[in-house]
Structure 1
Amino acid sequence: MSTAQLASESELHPMEKRRRRLLVVVALIIILAGLIGILWWFLRGQYWIETNDAYVNGNISPVDSLSAGTIQQVLVENTEYVHAGQILAILQGNHSRLDMEKAQAHLAATVRQVRQDFAEVHALQQNIQAKNAMLRKLKMDLSRYQQSLPSGAISVIRIENTYNEIAAASAAVAEAQARLQGAEALVASTTVYDNPLVQQAVAAYEKADITWQRHLIRAPISGYLAQRSAYPGLKVKDGQRLFSVVPLNDLWVVANFKETAMRRIHPGQSVQLTSYYYGSEVHFHGTILGLLPGAGSAFSILPPQNATGNYIHIVERVPVRIAIPRAELRKYPLRPGLSMIAEVHWQSGHPHSVLQPLTITPKQGYETSIYHDEMERAQICANRIIQKNL
């Protein structure tokens, strides 16, 4: 063997040793990773069900124009916090004000007309009393005339004329009574306040007054403003969307779990929520409130129709509603639409049947009180108009 061949073998020997050491290290890493994975599965993985198909949801209250008109002024901007009842925009309200003033004049005229109807009833009653008195006088005269006829003091013609006068007076009384019945039909069993004609005019006025009040566009609830599409000079229609108000103190998560994992998911289980917004260092501790009564595809615009058998079967997703503690929301505010990672500890909590959800309506309910004063103000104004014209 030559000297060159011996030198080559001596150089390859250390390289072979390094390669073998590297293979051993890689094998040990793989074995260690497998052991760690198995250990993780036994200690945690088998007790948790995870999905990254989860999103923050919340109530987004629309603010629509409740009357047609042209926007005169916009008073708020996106991301601004607004209070319930706060004025967001003002419509040019000349047309609605003119309609209200027209209804006001009609109500005043109706009150005066009804007063005249009541006066007409009283006048007809007095007229009937006068005609009855005249009829009684004619009958008494006839009786005296008949007693005086044998003595020749009264002529037969006078008696005949009295008969005719009694007939005419009786007809006049009957006519007056008929007119009284017609007049009483308009006001019988009523006062000026509850007369049907007045009530009809009051309803028209209240409607016009409420329409005029609504030229001020108000926030229905307190929250943060979004989706502003109102601009000065914009002509809007009744029902056109102008703003959205989002309260951030009442949010929840909708997590879509695979149907293959749903047999272990029940209301009452605890959920660990991680938001991409804050990263993995912040965890929210939620609770499953209930399962939506159908897979996501059942609520799609075109739900699947698999009656033919010619379809591709995929694993469906079932939406699950998860509550977020309000204290954690105050500390780490979220926004509707943010992505979440939901991990359910299926052995935690006190699971309930899927037919017994824990979802309840908030104590204050989903309501707005900004429209309560509209009718009250309109009624006060209507009563004031009636009193003024009594």
Structure 2
Amino acid sequence: MAATLAPAPVESPSTPSAERAKPKGRARIVLPVLLGVALVGGVLRFILTHGRESTDDAQVEGRIGNVAPRVAGQVLQVRVKDNQQVKAGDVLVELDSRDLEAKRQVAQADVLSAEAQLTSAQAQLSLTEANAGANLRQAQAGVTQASSGISSSRAALDQARADVSSAEARFRLADTELHRVKRLTAEGALSPAELDTRQAAYDQAKAALDQSKARLASTEAGITSSSGGLEAAQGKLVAAQTGPVQVQAAQAALKLAEARVQQARASLQLAELAVSYAQVRAPMNGVVSRRTVEVGQMVGPERPLMAIVPQDDVWVVANFKEDQVGGMRPGQPVDVTVDAFGSQHFRGHVDSLAGASGARFALLPPDNASGNFVKVVQRIPVLVRFDGSLKDLPLKPGMSAVVTVDTRGN
């Protein structure tokens, strides 16, 4: 007897197997769509980011000028407040300058004294130059006159000696005649009147002889005196010949006086500068920050009083990973967004790349040879300059920024 087969039951759409088939069908549709969207997104991202390197490890930088007094003193007045806008040359702090003013007056007196010494040295040089020539000519004339006097005295000596010889001859003749007359008068051959005449002639010859001898002695004494006068004149000549040396000494004294004047004037200039330094002025335009000075405080050059932060000279330093800077070159365009200004974009350009990674400038730079090596991606500072003016949106040093460099440029 043949067995009869029962017909298989027909599953309705509401059965569990039908419900499991629906998700599989949807997955076959959604998965390709998702893969397509991802592929398109990847392609778009590649297109949009290819040739662009970006980092959020960046901040706005600027110059900060520390203001310190150039002289020590006590603060009399502080003319600025924190965060006040100042211009270059504005007086920020005033110091007590009474002691500096006294030093300036002393320096002025030193200048006047040095100038007076210079005038005296100039007059002494002129006088020495004039006297040197006059004294030399006078000494030369004195030597000539003394030499002439000696020659004249020697001629007078010869004449005096001749006069003595002549007077001695006349005296001997008068003496001989007197003795003869005395003998003849005693014999009665001559009268007494003849004896008186011979006696008078004898006395006259004797007086003439004595006068001649006296003139000879006077002439000899004159020669001795003339010799002494010649030696004195020669000594004056030697002294007068030192005139050039005296002129050189006067010139040296003049140069010394001129040097003292210059030194005194330099000291006065330093004193005047010290007085001007009692007013501490702003070295640049900017905003007063970190003010630590108060009235009555003793200050000095070794301690800053405040800082001035310029607002018109800022730039960005972006620290890119080392695998991002291979294609960077100076001049490439840069897009900068600063957190403080939301989505506003600033245009700039790459100014330069640092000469080493930031880690090399650390207080304790890493040394991979000193232990176990763990590779760390290094950061290279890149300096970015803004294009155009930033007066409408003043950037402050220290603000965070996001920098994107278009490495396709240049």
Per the shorter chain, which TM-score range?
0.7 to 0.9
Q: Match for residue 99 of structure 1?
A: 103
Q: Match for residue 150 of structure 2?
A: 146
- Code of the residue aligned with 1:268 in structure 2: it is G
Q: Match for residue 78 of structure 2?
A: 74
Secondary structure in structure 2 of the residue aligned to 1:231? coil
Is the CA contact 2:350–2:385 (under 8 Å) kept in the aligned structure 1?
yes
Measured after TM superposition, the shift of residue 298 of structure 1 is 1.2
Following superposition of structure 1 onto structure 2, how do residues 1-390 of structure 1 map, counting pairs within 5 Å?
34=38, 37-149=41-153, 150-152=155-157, 154=219, 155-174=222-241, 177-187=244-254, 195-279=258-342, 281-327=343-389, 329-347=390-408, 349-350=409-410
Q: How many Å separate the matches in 1 of 2:40 and 2:392? A: 35
Q: Match for residue 377 of structure 1?
A: none
Query: TM-score, normalised on structure 1?
Result: 0.75
Measured after TM superposition, the shift of residue 62 of structure 1 is 2.1
Is the CA contact 1:67–1:239 (under 8 Å) kept in the aligned structure 2?
no
Q: How many Å separate the matches in 1 of 2:128 and 2:351? A: 73
Q: How many Å separate the matches in 2 of 1:286 and 1:127? A: 81
Query: TM-score, normalised on structure 2?
Result: 0.72
Secondary structure in structure 1 of the residue aligned to 2:383? strand
Q: Gapped runs of 5+ residues in structure 1?
A: 1-12, 351-390
Seen in structure 2, the aligned counterparts of structure 1 residues 262 and 249 have a Cα distance that, compared at 3 Å, is same
Measured after TM superposition, the shift of residue 109 of structure 1 is 0.6
Q: Give CA-to-partner distance per residue, 1:231-270, whole Å, 9 cap, x none.
A: 1111111242112222212211000000011113222222
Q: How many Å separate the matches in 2 of 1:27 and 1:275? A: 40
Higher mean C-alpha deviation, range 206-215 or range 176-185:
176-185
Is the CA contact 1:103–1:208 (under 8 Å) kept in the aligned structure 2?
yes
Measured after TM superposition, the shift of residue 31 of structure 1 is 5.9
Q: How many Å separate the matches in 2 of 1:30 and 1:230? A: 66
Structure having the higher helix fraction is 2
Q: Gapped runs of 5+ residues in structure 2?
A: 1-15, 158-217
Measured after TM superposition, the shift of residue 42 of structure 1 is 2.7
Q: How many Å separate the matches in 2 of 1:168 and 1:119? A: 27
Seen in structure 2, the aligned counterparts of structure 1 residues 244 and 27 have a Cα distance that, compared at 3 Å, is farther
Q: How many Å separate the matches in 1 of 2:264 and 2:31? A: 92
> Could you say what the CA RMSD is over the residues aligned between the two structures, in angstroms?
3.0
- Code of the residue aligned with 1:161 in structure 2: it is G
Seen in structure 2, the aligned counterparts of structure 1 residues 180 and 233 have a Cα distance that, compared at 3 Å, is same
Higher mean C-alpha deviation, range 179-188 or range 210-219:
179-188
Is the CA contact 2:79–2:93 (under 8 Å) kept in the aligned structure 1?
yes
Q: How many Å separate the matches in 1 of 2:309 and 2:118? A: 50
Secondary structure in structure 1 of the residue aligned to 2:401? strand
Is the CA contact 2:68–2:300 (under 8 Å) kept in the aligned structure 1?
no
> Who wins on radius of gyration, i.e. which is larger?
2
Percent identical: 28
Is the CA contact 1:249–1:326 (under 8 Å) kept in the aligned structure 2?
no
Measured after TM superposition, the shift of residue 309 of structure 1 is 4.9
Q: How many Å separate the matches in 1 of 2:40 and 2:72? A: 67
- Code of the residue aligned with 1:173 in structure 2: it is A
Measured after TM superposition, the shift of residue 39 of structure 1 is 4.4
Q: How many Å separate the matches in 2 of 1:307 and 1:101? A: 66
Q: Give CA-to-partner distance per residue, 1:183-228, whole Å, 9 cap, x none.
A: 211226x9x8xx2221122222111211111111111111222121
Q: How many Å separate the matches in 1 of 2:407 and 2:128? A: 86
